[in-house]
Amino acid sequence: MDADVIVAGLGAHGSSAAYRLAARGASVLGFDRFVRGHTLGSSGGLSRIIRLSYYEHPDYVPLLRRAWTLWRDLERVSGETLLTETGGLYAGDPTGELVSGALLSARTHHLEHEVLDASALRRRYPLFEWPDGWQGVFEKQAGWLAPELCIETHLRLAEDSGATLRFDEPVERWESTPDGVRVSTSTGTFDAKKLVIAAGAWESQLAPSLAPELSVERSVLLWFEPTAERDAFARLPIYIVDDTDRIFYGFPYIEGQGVKVAGLHFGDRADPDTVDRTVSAGDEDRVRAWLRRRMPLVNGERRDAKVCMYTNTPDANFIVDRLADHPNVVVASACSGHGFKFSTVIGEILADLVLDGETRHPISFLSADRLVRG
């Protein structure tokens, strides 16, 4: 055996899994298809939202609470600042999925929150144009993570715990063996007892049985310089707005970056190996149209733009499970655009599944079986 566990993919979830496994005494060999520190997958972009009043589903809240605790623990162990708490605002039609879903999670799990009507939204957040009849939900325990630093911190701590990590060496295929798994990369073959596949947009290439349930989406992130009120934008919480056409989300002004804004699920399908990484005028116009409508003072000079990828499932929930017919293989992917914040707890769950065969965390709603059986 070359290792107890091989980890395929060292992005958000793979780096966390490598750290958690190595910290628990497993010998870990990790591979990534790109160079260390790349931003060619789903986890670049300088900032990622973390929040607890989760509109997507109340079942995520226990995982989020644990993830938040583990991010703070990771900061203490590493000495890095990874999570900036700003509070979170979720606003739109009170009957829409965002506001009603956030309230359902907050009330189900007794999360501290405030409900704001349109008048209160205008008083507290005058940088936005708020329509009559809209409602907001504010929670204090929300903010943003620095994804590139988070991943590098997990990688460094994994290596400090004994993991061997290899970059610019894609996993090309794998097969089960009588003793575990055999993994082939661009440079050779390696044997291990267990395999973790956390390949993001390339998941379907390494777990083809899941391919019919996965689709890759090109997503564009944009940063703008406000035309005025920079200090006021710096004091904003992270925000998600369920508007008339789709959900948009953004961040406060961050020094050296500007104001980051993006639309959720514009729906451009992509192949991860050939995705167009050039941000077009059309990509920018989609977001500027929303800025003109809701945040006109942000509609200034474009400071930066990046392309990342979502790997989506039909129900927009993750897959965290053993691979059918291969009990030595665990998969974690298909985060449908909202998975980075869970990285710490997903790594813990993957280590549980690999080393203990089970986890105390409630993940039955993330099973692969729910999709394969339709």
Quote the CA–CA distance of 257 and 224 in Å, as a whole number: 8
Q: What is the bridge-based pairing of β-strands 180-185 and 28-31?
A: unpaired
pTM: 0.97
Residue 51 lies in a domain: no
Residue burial 155-187, b: 16+ Cβ < 10 Å; e: rest: bebbbebebebebebbbeebeeeeebbbbebee
SS3 144: strand
Residue 66 lies in a domain: no
Tell me, what's the pLDDT at 334?
A: 77
- Helix 343-355 and helix 61-78: axis angle, to 10°? 100
138 and 224 share one domain: yes
Structural domain for 258, as ranges? 90-143+215-312
Tell me, what's the pLDDT at 27?
A: 98
User: Which residues, given as ranges, of the chain have pLDDT below 50?
Assistant: none
| DSSP per residue, 8-45 | E--SHHHHHHHHHHHHTT--EEEE-SS-TT--SSSS-S
Last residue in a domain, options 261, 283, 312: 312
234 and 308 share one domain: yes
**Residue 331: CB partners within 8 Å, gap ≥ 6?**
196, 197, 198, 203, 207, 210, 319, 320, 321, 322, 323, 368
What is the tally of structural domains in the chain?
Answer: 2
278 and 298 share one domain: yes
Quote the CA–CA distance of 18 and 269 in Å, as a whole number: 30
Tell me, what's the pLDDT at 324?
A: 87
